[in-house]
Structure 1
Amino acid sequence: MRDPIIGIDLGTTNSVVATVEEGRPRVIPSRVGGRLTPSVVGFTPNTTERVVGAPAQALAKEHPDCVVWATKRFIGRRFTPELVQAARSVVPYPLLGGTTGDVRVKMAGRTVPVTQVAAMILGELKLDAEAYFGREVRRCVITVPANFDDGQRQATREAAAIAGLDVLRLINEPTAAALAYGLSRGFQGHALVFDLGGGTFDVTVLEVTDGVYEVKATGGDSALGGEDFDLKIVDWLLSQIDEPLRESVHRDVVSQHKLKVAAEQAKRELSEYEETLISLAGLGDQSQSARKLTGLETVLTRSFFDQLCEPLSERCLEVCRAVMKDAGMAPSAVDTVLLVGGMTRVPLIRQLVTDFFGKAPSTEVNPDEAVALGAAIQADELARQSGAALLLDVVSNSLGVGVLGGKVRRLIPRNRSVPVVAREIFHPGRHGQTEARIPVYQGESDLQDENRKLGEVVLRNLQAGSRGDTSLEVTFELSNEGLLAVRAVDLQSGLSEEVRMEARPHLPVREADRLVKEQAAYAQKQAQQDARKSEDKFRKLLERGEKLARLLQHSAEENPGEEAQAAVANVRSLLESGHSALQAQDAEQCAHVARQLTQLLAGR
């Protein structure tokens, strides 16, 4: 039997893991039940026990200072005062800087790298998959937003390594969603993926022809998502609190969490109803012994919510206009619009898409699961190498180097097909230099200050001479998953060397090794607990299977026939195999029987 392989959507709000069985992609349920795992991580206040997903969400109700969420917005980013300032308007927990410039978060009195938070979520999804298959799972494909830069992609791979996963490939989320849609429905034509998740927004146009998925253009906003729509409601609720107490409510972590939960719940309810009642109590500074608390009760209508979010809606439209321009297409030329991400369930967004493209979006794809299913399809394709699907992606943001005068010289333009190699000759900034530092930027502006600095290419031991006589050839090589490799050659001496991106944040080697060991120890302990729970669940499942067999036997006696007898024989065979596997302590066979029995009991 082939080793299991999975696809993972590591989301800002929720994460999903999926696989392909019998040619069909399926979501793997979590061990606590449900198909989505909240991307929430915490530590219990007294025992400092790790909690991930739904248990962490529950912990946040009583101890919001022990929990973090939406950390995907900070993974692979460099710690800067500007990032800290921007984060204050999005999340209540503090950001801190690591020794290499990486971003860290504080919860339950502990400082944790954002990369480790991602690893904890990935590790939980890995455990879910191992419980599902009854054996170790290592190989995977992970999706990332199309506008993730090199540092963010490298950090995602680093998190996967800590979690004990081997990443076969990173693929862009919109491409994965289109893959899930196209292969399952035989679609051909131009598809636009409108991906508005919890923390990022991507728009991608693809041409699908005979199993080839060619990205024509992609764009997005890495600081726009469902969290921002929630914050519009939070700000509106804060404005209704009396001035003397407003600031204390704004500063209080417990109060802020209550407002955030209420805002998200209101947004969900407005997807079904025209208005919703918001009622909150116990708002104020919880840290003071003689605290003065207040409450809030108000009604939010769908039409007013739409008005509150108008600036965010316009940002969505700006991205759509830019992508259609880059693709050289009119909005009406798109054959189908696929909605991805939980925010696309909101009527405001669906109406915005309908108005802009002149057609209602497709509702055939589950917006919460499409990306993970596409990742699973790609993972299965990479394992089998059947040639059923070929992905041709593009560069989501231009890449260039900083030159004199604060300008940027573009080497790889946006929407260029990947993989791609670009070379450029540079000269030192002054005579007699023995070291050259070449800054690398991502973005569309001609000015360095208006782009994101990814790092610096450092070339040392140059032969000192006149500026014009020293020629440095810098090569950018961008892989098909958006990872950047840089190489420099001193053409005068003929010497070449691989150079490092010194400004790219990463974890120190010793710390990364320690986190790998910590995760492995946690996973081993958790797997032992899961094994005991799985055995109990399997025994109960076999009991339900016995009842089903008796019902089918009774039905076959009343209505004899080959089909009825075959159904009985099938269940009896599964039960026999299940009891044998249980006796032999064969976890993989138990899991195999459990999957088949569960489908039979569900009537599938």
Structure 2
Amino acid sequence: MRDPVIGIDLGTTNSAVATVEGGQPRLIPSRAGGRLTPSVVGLTPRTAERVVGVPAQTLAEEHPDCVVWATKRFIGRRFTPELLQSARAVVPYPLMGGTTGDVRVKMAGRTVPVTQVAAMILGELKLDAEAYFGREVSQCVITVPANFDDGQRQATREAAAIAGLDVLRLINEPTAAALAYGLSRGFEGHALVFDLGGGTFDVTVLEVTDGVYEVKATGGDPALGGEDFDLRIVDWLLAQVEEPFREQVHRDVTSMHKLKVAAEQAKRELSEYEETLISLGGLGDHSQPTRKFTGLETALTRSFFEQLCEALSKRCLAVCESVMRDARMEPSRVDAVLLVGGMTRVPFIRRLVSDFFGKAASTEVNPDEAVALGAAIHSDELTSQAGAALLLDVVGNSLGVGVLGGKVRRLIARNRSVPVVAKELFHPGSHNQKEARIPIYQGESDLQDENRKLGELVLRNLQAGSRADTPLEVTFELSNEGILAVRAVDLQTGLSEQVRVEARPHLPAPEADRLVKEQAAYSQKQAQVDARKSEDKFRKLLERGEKLARLLQHSAEENPGEQNETAAANVRSLLDTGRVALESQDAARCAQVARELSHLLAGRQA
């Protein structure tokens, strides 16, 4: 039996895990029974016990200072004053810098690396998959936004390693969504993926032909997502709080969390109705011993919500226009538009898409599930080597070398196909220079200050002489996963240096080792709890199966026929297999029988 492989969508708002069974991708339910896991993590106030997903959302109602969410926006980033300032407008919890400059969050009085938060979510998805299969699961494909840089991708890999996962490949979220869409419908032509998630916005144009998925252009806004639309409602609600209380509410974590939850609920309701009522109480300063609170009663219409978000809508359109220019295509040439991300359920977003491209977007794929399903398809492709699909992706951000005058000379342009190797000759900045520093930048500007510096390669022991007589060949090599290697060679002497560019600081090795051990201990303890629950659940499932077997047997006796007799025999055989597996403590076999029996029972009820 081949080891199970999974596809993971590690999202800003929700995360999901999927697999391929019988040639079809399917979502793996959480152990709590849901299809999606909220990307929310908390630590309980007294015991610092971790909670992930819905339990963390519940904890936030009473202890919002013990919970963090939307941390994907900060993974793999370097802690800077600019990042701190921008974060304050998006999330209420404090951000802090680690010893190596990594980003950390504070919850329940503890400082936690953002990478560890991601690992906690990934670990929970891993446990869901292991409960589903009844065996250990380690191999996976994880999706990332198309505009994630090398640092963010490597931080995602580091989080997966802490969670005990072996990442076969990272693939871009829009490409994964198109993969699910294409294989499920046999689509060929130009497809555009409009991916508006909780924290990021990506647009990708692909050409699908005979199982080849060739990305033509990709672009996005890394600071635009559902969270920003929610904040428009939060700001509007805050403006309606009575003046004596407004500043208190703005400073109070509990009150602001109430506004955030109300905003999310209002946004969802406005996708179904033209108007929603918002009623809130307990707004004020919860830290004061003498508490005085106020409330808020208001109504929000769909049309006014659209006005509040007009500037955000324009940013969405600007990205679409930019990507179509890069693809050298008119919007009308797009054959199908695939919506991805929960925000694409909002009516005015769908209207915006249909107006721009001149056609209604596809609604045949669940926008919350498409990315995970595509990741599962690709993970199955990689392990089975079936060769049904070939992914040809592109560079999400231009890459270049800093030169004299504060400029950047571009070696790899955005939207160039990957993998790619680019070479160019440079010379030292002055005569008799004994070492050359080669700064590496990412971004679309010609100016260094307007781009992001990824790192620096230093070539030492140059032969002193005229700069014109010291040619330096710089080579950029970018992998399928957007991982950059840079090499510099002094062509006169053959002296060379090479570096794998790291755009972020790693966690300190001792801390990373400690987190791996903590996660392993948590997973082992939780797996034992899950095993007991699974056994109890399986026994009850066998009881339901027994009732179905008697019903089918009775039906076969009243209406003799090969079909009825076969159906009864199949269920009886499945039950016998299940009992043997239960007695021998074969968890994997029990899980397989449970999946088959659940499918039969669900079909019978339908």
TM-score by length of 2: 0.98
Give the whole-Å Cα distance in 2 for the aligned partners of 1:491 and 1:509. 37
- How big is the shift at 1:461? 4.2
- Do residues 332 (structure 1) and 327 (structure 2) align? no
Listed as ranges, the gaps of 5+ residues in structure 1 are none
Partner of 2:163: 163
CA–CA distance in 2 between the matches of 1:346 and 1:8? 24
Give me the whole-angstrom Cα distance separating, in 2, the residues matched to 1:437 and 1:67.
Answer: 43
Q: Which amino acid aligns with 1:420?
A: V
Secondary structure in structure 2 of the residue aligned to 1:30: coil
In 2: Cα distance, 1:102 partner to 1:500 partner: 18
Q: CA deviation at 1:433?
A: 3.8
SS in 1 for 2:603: coil
Quote the residue 2:479 is aligned against: 479
Contact 1:201/1:220 (<8 A) preserved:
yes
Partner residue in 1 for 2:422: 422
Q: How does 1:397-408 map to 2 (within 5 A)?
A: 397-408=397-408
Matches within 5 A, 1:458-497: 458-497=458-497
Cα distance in structure 1, aligned partners of 2:590 and 2:453: 51
- Letter aligned with residue 392 of structure 1: L
Provide the C-alpha distance between the structure 2 equivalents of 1:562 and 1:502, rounded to a whole number of angstroms: 65
* Post-superposition offset of 1:23: 0.4
- 1:498 aligns to what SS in structure 2? strand
What SS class does the counterpart of residue 280 from structure 1 fall into? strand
Is the 8 Å Cα contact of residues 6 and 19 (structure 1) preserved in structure 2?
Answer: yes
User: Judging changes above 3 Å, is the alpha-carbon distance between structure 1 residues 87 and 181 closer, same or farther for their aligned structure 2 residues?
Assistant: same
Which residue of the partner structure matches residue 63 of structure 2? 63
Displacement after TM superposition at 1:547 (Å):
1.1
Letter of the 1:162 counterpart: I
Counterpart of 1:71, as a letter, is T
> CA offset at residue 506 of structure 1?
1.7
1:106, 1:490 → 2: CA distance?
Answer: 47
* Secondary structure of the structure 2 residue equivalent to 1:430: coil
Offset from partner CA, 1:11-60 (integer Å, 9 cap, x none): 00000000000101010000111110001111100111011111111111
Secondary structure, aligned partner of 2:198: coil
Report the Cα distance in structure 1 between the residues aligned to 2:287 and 2:109, rounded to whole angstroms.
16
Is 1:125 aligned with 2:125? yes
Query: Aligned letter for 1:196?
Result: L
Once residues 61 and 412 of structure 2 are traced to their aligned partners in structure 1, the CA distance between those partners, rounded to angstroms, is 47
Deviation at 1:503, TM superposition (A): 5.2
Letter in 1 for 2:148: F
**Which residue of 2 is the match for residue 293 of structure 1?**
293
SS at 2:78 equivalent: coil
Query: 2: CA distance between counterparts of 1:416 and 1:232?
Result: 36
Give the aligned partner of residue 91 of structure 1: 91
- Counterpart position of 2:541: 541
Counterpart of 2:39 in structure 1 is 39
Preserved contact between residue 458 and residue 501 of structure 1 (Cα < 8 Å):
no
- Indicate how the Cα distance of structure 1 residues 105 and 436 shifts in structure 2: closer, same or farther if over 3 A, else same: farther
Worse overlay, 378-387 or 495-504: 495-504
Q: Deviations over 1:244-292 (max 9, x none)?
A: 3211111111011110000000000000000000111111111011232
Specify the alignment match of 2:441 in structure 1: 441
1-side partners of 2:490 and 2:256: how far apart?
Answer: 55
* SS across alignment from 2:391: strand
In the alignment, the residues of structure 2 paired with residue 333 and residue 8 of structure 1 have an alpha-carbon distance, to the nearest angstrom, of 31
1:559 counterpart residue number: 559
Deviation at 1:466, TM superposition (A): 4.2
**AA partner of residue 281 (structure 1):** G
Contact 1:31 1:128 in 2 (8 A): yes
Take 1:405 and 1:23, find their aligned partners in 2: how far apart are those partners? 56
Instruction: State the distance in 1 between where 2:536 and 2:353 align.
Output: 48
Amino acid at match of 1:366: N
In 1, the alpha carbon distance for the partners of 2:390 and 2:235 equals 45
Mean Cα deviation higher: 445-454 or 69-78: 445-454
Identical aligned pairs, as a percentage?
Answer: 85
Distance in 1 separating the partners of 2:201 and 2:34? 25
| Paired amino acid for 1:516 | V
Asked if the contact 2:457–2:498 (Cα under 8 Å) also holds between the matched residues in 1, the reply is no
Question: Are 1:524 and 2:530 matched, yes or no?
Answer: no
Answer whether contact 2:459 2:496 (CA < 8 A) is retained: no
Mean Cα deviation higher: 70-79 or 437-446: 437-446
1:322-353, Cα deviation, whole Å (9 max, x unpaired): 11111111111111100000000000100000
Shift, 1:513, TM fit: 1.4
Using the TM superposition, give the Cα deviation of residue 471 of structure 1 relative to its aligned residue in structure 2, in angstroms: 3.0
Instruction: Look up the match of 2:343.
Output: 343
- TM-score normalized by the length of structure 1: 0.98
- Conservation of the 8 A alpha-carbon contact between 2:313 and 2:349: yes
How much does 1:491 deviate? 2.5
Counterpart residue type for residue 360 of structure 1: A
Matches of 1:121 and 1:113, distance apart in 2? 13
Question: Is the Cα contact below 8 Å between 1:139 and 1:167 reproduced in 2?
Answer: yes
Shift of 1:123: 0.7
The secondary structure found in structure 2 opposite 1:603 is helix
Kept in 1, the 8 Å contact 2:439–2:453? The answer is yes
1:101-127 alpha-carbon deviations (Å, 9 max, x no partner): 111111111111111111111111111
Asked whether 1:376 is paired with 2:376, we answer yes
Tell me if structure 1 keeps the 8 A contact 2:42–2:66. yes
Alpha-carbon displacement from aligned partner over 1:499-540 (angstroms, at most 9, x marks no partner)? 254652221122111111111111111111111111111111
2:311 and 2:516 map into 1 onto residues whose CA distance is: 43
User: Counterparts of 1:278 and 1:483 in 2: how far apart (Å)?
Assistant: 47
Aligned to 1:367: 367
Q: CA deviation at 1:551?
A: 1.5
Counterpart in 1 of 2:144?
Answer: 144
User: Which stretch shifts more, 447-456 or 201-210?
Assistant: 447-456
Q: Do the aligned partners of residues 429 and 242 (structure 1) sit closer, same or farther apart at CA in structure 2, a change above 3 Å counting?
A: farther
| Structure 2 counterpart of 1:597 | 597
2:242 corresponds in structure 1 to 242
Pair 1:214–1:115, CA change in 2 (3 A): same
Contact residue 484 and residue 500 of structure 2 kept, 8 A: no
2:95 and 2:106 in contact (8 A); partners too: yes
Q: Provide the C-alpha distance between the structure 2 equivalents of 1:236 and 1:460, rounded to a whole number of angstroms.
A: 58
Change (3 A) 1:460 1:529: farther
CA contact (8 A) 2:199 2:223 kept: yes
Rounded Cα–Cα distance in structure 1 between residues aligned with 2:68 and 2:456: 31
- Whether 1:21 aligns to 2:39 is no
Q: Which residue of 1 aligns with 2:385?
A: 385
Q: Does 1:81 align with 2:75?
A: no
Q: CA–CA distance in 1 between the matches of 2:72 and 2:502? A: 22
Equivalents in 1 of 2:93, 2:496: separation in Å?
A: 45
The answer to whether the 8 A contact 2:90-2:228 is kept is yes
Task: Report the 3-state secondary structure (helix = DSSP H, G, I; strand = E; otherwise coil) of the residue aligned with 1:281.
Answer: strand
Deviations 1:405-438 (A, max 9, x none): 1111111001100000111222333344444332
- Report which stretch shifted further, 353-362 or 421-430: 421-430
Q: Report the equivalent of 2:107.
A: 107
How far, CA to CA, are the matches of 1:459 and 1:225 in structure 2?
42
2:195/2:203 contact within 8 Å kept: yes
Q: How far apart in 2 are the matches of 1:316 and 1:344?
A: 11
What amino acid sits opposite 1:359 in the alignment? Answer: K
Give the 3 Å change call, closer, same or farther, for CA 563–507 of structure 1 in structure 2.
same
Residue in structure 1 matched with residue 229 of structure 2 by the alignment = 229
**2:212 is the counterpart of 1:212:** yes
CA separation in 2, counterparts of 1:495 and 1:268?
A: 61
Alignment coverage as a number of residue pairs:
604
Residue 463 of structure 1, CA deviation: 4.1
Counterpart for residue 52 of structure 1? 52
Question: What amino acid sits opposite 2:149 in the alignment?
Answer: D
Moved more, 128-137 or 284-293: 284-293
Q: Distance in 2 between matches of 1:469 and 1:78?
A: 38
Q: Which amino acid aligns with 2:83?
A: L
Partners of 1:169 and 1:503 in 2: how far apart? 19
Distance 1:256 1:465 in 2: 64
Deviation at 1:485, TM superposition (A): 1.5
Q: Is the 8 A contact 2:473 2:491 kept in 1?
A: yes
Aligned to 2:451: 451
For 2:121, what is the secondary structure of its paired residue? helix
| CA distance in 1 between partners of 2:231 and 2:421 (Å) | 41
Instruction: Give the CA deviation at 1:556.
Output: 1.7
SS in 2 for 1:602: helix
1:439 deviation in Å? 2.1
Structure 1 equivalent of residue 197 of structure 2: 197
**Does the alignment pair 1:507 with 2:507?**
yes
Secondary structure of the 1:596 match is helix
CA distance in 2, matches of 1:84, 1:434: 39
